[in-house]
Amino acid sequence: MALLTQVEQAALVSNRMTFANVHAQHPMVLSAACWAWALRGTNRPVDAADSAPTLYSNNNPRRTILDIGRRGEVEFRTEMDVTAIPTDDMAVANAIDPLKEAWSDACIDNTDEARREFMRQMMAVAARVNGLRPSTRQTAYRLYMTVPRDNWYHWQHWGIAVRCNGRLGFAQTEPNVRLYIGGQALAEAHLPDYLNTYIYLDALHDNHVNVIKSALMKPPLGAAWAADSTRNTCYGCRRAFASGLFTSGKHHCRRCGNIFCDRCSQNNTRGILYRLRRRGGPATDYHAARMCDTCEGLNQNRF
């Protein structure tokens, strides 16, 4: 298990959603399903005993009865089938009774909060089976999940998130899609009739941290700048900008592309993170550029 430093946490939550170029160093991440990345930090076989497809395989309260003469009828069961969940670990075994109770409540109460409680209990079991440690206290690390309301017993998308300075930063993936890094929302969570929830984690897997560090060390060159019209306050200190084209005091960080006031972006840094193409010069040329305090912190803490 591993932790991100305060500087790394701040960098993750400061990034707008981008695709991270990390697959040369971490090739398994490119083929990883969202659940494999979130629970393991790498790819995982679908039929593995600890995979989400296996752990969730029996999670459907509505089962069609196929006996002769009753074909097509639907049986609704309120007792959860937990035979797919390995209980060799004592922490997992102790979590089974609360999980079954949450299942029963979700089936009977039929409320969104009861469904979310089952989602959280099931996520905690899946996390424990995969070596993560759910926490009962608020921590910087979260395991997120979203699912259509009608399929509350399954999942649609998973992600890892870090909270720092009042903001969230996500790391999430899909098979054969580059890792999404940064951004303050879980993909697909905005869709109508979806249920979203999360649990706290004590720490992340080593591979989570290694991949996130690689992503933070290699931001896209020439990151797209946020449009001036999108921000009326500094992305760092949240103070309002003055009105007017030349009196606004807006400055773009040359690394992350966000908009800051002069006080939050006074760093002129020459370094490996900030390679910029000079007009008429080679791409390997380096020169000083304005950076926000968070990106300057990354430069001073080279992991």
**The amino acid at 92:** V
280 and 134 share a domain?
A: no
CA distance 273 to 216: 9
Torsion angle of alpha carbons 182, 183, 184, 185, nearest 10°?
-110
Contact 52, 158 (CB under 8 A): yes
Contact 18, 47 (CB under 8 A): no
User: Is the pLDDT at 142 greater than 90, yes or no?
Assistant: yes
State both tokens at 257. Answer: 């592309």
- Residue 222 φ/ψ region, left for φ over 0, alpha for ψ in the -120 to 50 degree band, beta for the rest: left
159 part of a folded domain:
yes
The whole-number pLDDT of residue 299 equals: 53
186 and 207 share a domain?
A: yes
Among 125, 197, 198, 169, CA closest to 4: 169
80-133 tens-digit pLDDT = 999 999 988 999 999 999 999 999 999 998 899 999 999 999 999 999 999 999
End position of a domain, from candidates 178, 197, 217: 217
251 and 169 share a domain?
A: no
The phi and psi torsions of 203 (rounded to 5 degrees) equal -165, 180
196 and 270 share a domain?
A: no
Given the DSSP bridges, would you call strands 194-201 and 141-148 parallel, antiparallel or unpaired? antiparallel
The CA-atom distances, in angstroms, between 86 and each of 53, 61, 247 are 13, 20, 63
| CB-count burial class (<10 Å; 0-12, 13-18, 19+) for 43 | middle
How many domains does the chain contain in total? 2
126 part of a folded domain:
yes
228 and 208 share a domain?
A: no
Domain span at residue 266? 220-303
Among 69, 63, 191, 212, CA closest to 140: 212
User: Is the pLDDT at 70 greater than 60, yes or no?
Assistant: no
1 part of a folded domain:
no
Per-chain mean pLDDT for the chain: 82
Sign, CA torsion 200/172/8/259 = negative
Which residues on adjacent β-strands are paired with residue 267?
Answer: 291
**Long-range contacts of 78-83, Cβ-Cβ distance < 8 Å, separation of 24 or more:** 78/103, 78/104, 78/107, 78/108, 79/103, 79/104, 80/104, 82/58, 83/58
148 and 234 share a domain?
A: no
Q: Pick the more confident residue, 21 or 240.
A: 240
11-61 tens-digit pLDDT = 888 776 667 767 778 888 888 999 999 999 999 999 999 999 999 999 988
Q: Residue 263: which pLDDT band, with cuts at 50, 70 and 90?
A: confident
147 and 257 share a domain?
A: no
The whole-number pLDDT of residue 174 equals: 81
